[in-house]
Amino acid sequence: MPHVVLLGDSIFDNGAYVRAGEPDVIHQLRERLPDGWRATLLAVDGDVTASVHRQLAGLPADATHLVISVGGNDALGNLGALSEPVHTVAEALARFGALRDQFEKTYRRMLDAVLARNLPTALCTVYNGSSPDALFQRVATVGAALWDDVILRNAAERGLPVLELRLICADPADYANPIEPSARGGAKIAAAIAALLATHDFSARRAQVYAPPA
């Protein structure tokens, strides 16, 4: 019996943010999977990339597929860098480049541990969120691009499919607050996961980006 496991953070573990009576991502995914499929949530709200190692310890013995959405909380942990004084744009870019490099080291270690399980694996980009503060939103979008460069390049190197959450959750209504998916956003994420699992040929070890059709 196919059994998909969700690893990562509150992009999947969004039950605390949806309105009362509305389904979270894992419940919406279970509704969309074909008969005979199971889905388990190991992602934890607030977890960072390094936390996935701990989540893997709880991996069900019968897991057949893994989907990972992580990195956003790593980015939030570096918000203090936005307030640091710099003298030139080049200095600012160098500082953010150093932060990106550190994230890449952490992300690679996480991915090594995940792929050591020898299970079909899909990744997710970090989405842009939806802040009412236009300046913060613009900065967050640029920052997400730095993180997503890491995720997409590692996916390309390892031949892994990627859900492009920046396009999947592109409407303000997809968010319960500036950074968490609403029930509507969760429905889009769940539908994208189900579609990827139904169509992607994991045996080909081919990187492919999944996003809504134009």
Nearest CA-CA partner of 166 in 194, 195, 137: 137
pTM value?
Answer: 0.93
71 burial level (CB within 10 Å; 0-12, 13-18, 19+): buried
Is there a contact between 51 and 44 (Cβ–Cβ < 8 Å)? Answer: yes
Strand partners, 36: none
CA distance 173 to 169: 9
| pLDDT tens digit sequence for 187-206 | 999 999 999 999 999 999 99
Query: pLDDT band at 95, cuts 50/70/90?
Result: confident
Q: Quick one: pLDDT band at residue 214, thresholds 50, 70, 90?
A: low
Q: Residue 6 pLDDT more than 60? A: yes
3-209 CATH, one of 3.40.50.880, 3.40.50.80, 3.40.50.1110, 1.10.10.10 = 3.40.50.1110
Q: Structural domain boundaries of the chain?
A: 3-209
Number of helices followed by number of strands (H, E) in the chain: 7, 6
Least confident interval from 23-37, 63-77, 89-103: 89-103
End-to-end CA distance of the chain: 34
